[in-house]
Chains A and B, each alone.
Chain A
Amino acid sequence: DGGITQSPKYLFRKEGQNVTLSCEQNLNHDAMYWYRQDPGQGLRLIYYSQIVNDFQKGDIAEGYSVSREKKESFPLTVTSAQKNPTAFYLCASSIRSGRAGDTQYFGPGTRLTVL
């Protein structure tokens, strides 16, 4: 089945540690996205990538980093510089390089808790 996989579903880390969230898609989509979701805040865009080896900052990129070495993979690293990293993280992809109107397809999410 085609889709987006995020792992792990739940992740616990100690304060001050970097952590990497995985996102893989087998939809052959060009564009990929990372969102952060907090209760009552909707989804906020962290980073997006239109093509391999290229990515742009979203609205809340501070304290996060990404890479896009393969078309199907877009890992997100939450660094120790992120002041409040506990949240639900969602990865998405769309078929073309982020063209307006294209549907974004979402993974199941990773819930990160920093202790």
Chain B
Amino acid sequence: AQSVTQLDSQVPVFEEAPVELRCNYSSSVSVYLFWYVQYPNQGLQLLLKYLSGSTLVKGINGFEAEFNKSQTSFHLRKPSVHISDTAEYFCAVSGGSGYSTLTFGKGTMLLVSP
């Protein structure tokens, strides 16, 4: 079984400031990791994913995430946020081989203010 913990339900930040959204996972097998973004009343859009290789993954809209196996973490970062980044962000995990469904965290609401 696998699970995901997003440590912050809300993260308020000022425009142009850096931000980190935290994600920890637990799994008995190797994993693939994902970050999705959801704008109000819309579906989810993939920001980035880690499958293998370099532990630093770059995604869309200037976001990046670092896979840390020893700390079982996959934190999302952006060096300078914009008002338009205001949205809910979901971390998700799937098993690292064969067939596996996605398990999502409860989400972190990023609130960017001027």
Contact = CB atoms under 8 A, between A and B. Distances in A.
Contacts of B98: 99-100
A111 B41 contact: yes
Contacts of A50: 99
Interface in B80-114: 90, 94-102, 104-107
B32 A101 contact: yes
Interface of B: 9, 32, 34, 36, 41-46, 49, 51, 90, 94-102, 104-107
A78 interface: no
Interface stretch (A14-22, A36-44, A66-74): A36-44
Interface size class of A (residues with CB under 8 A): 20 to 34
Contacts of B96: 100-101
Contacts of A107: 43
A109 B41 contact: yes
A100 B99 contact: yes
Nearest to A43: B104
A90 interface: yes
Interface in A76-115: 90, 92, 97-101, 103-109, 111
Contacts of B34: 103
A64 interface: no
